[in-house]
Structure 1
Amino acid sequence: MTLKTPQDYIVLGKISSVYGVQGWVKVYSYTEPLDRILEYGNWTLRQGNNLTLVEVDKGRSHGKGMVAHLRGIDDREVAKQYSGFEICVPKNRLPELSDGEYYWYELEGLSVVTLNNESLGVVDYMMSTGAGNDVLVVKGDAHSIDRRERLIPYVEQFVHDVSLEAGRIVVDWDPEF
Structure 2
Amino acid sequence: MRLPRKKSGFLLIEHLIALVIISISLVAFMGLSTAFLKIKDRLNVPDDIKWHVAVQQMNFNYAGFRLTSFNGYDPYTAHFENMTSEKIEVITLVSSWKDGGKIYKGAGGSGGHQPFLYGIRSLSIKRNGSRLLISTTLNQGSTFRLNFAPKNRAIYVKVKEAKEKKNEKP
Asked if these proteins are the same fold (TM beyond 0.5), I'd say: no
Q: Which has the higher contact order (CA 8 A, sep 6+)?
A: 1
Q: TM-score, normalised by structure 1?
A: 0.21
Structure having the larger proportion of residues in strand: 1
Return the structure number with greater helix share.
2
Using structure 2 for the length normalisation, give the TM-score.
0.21
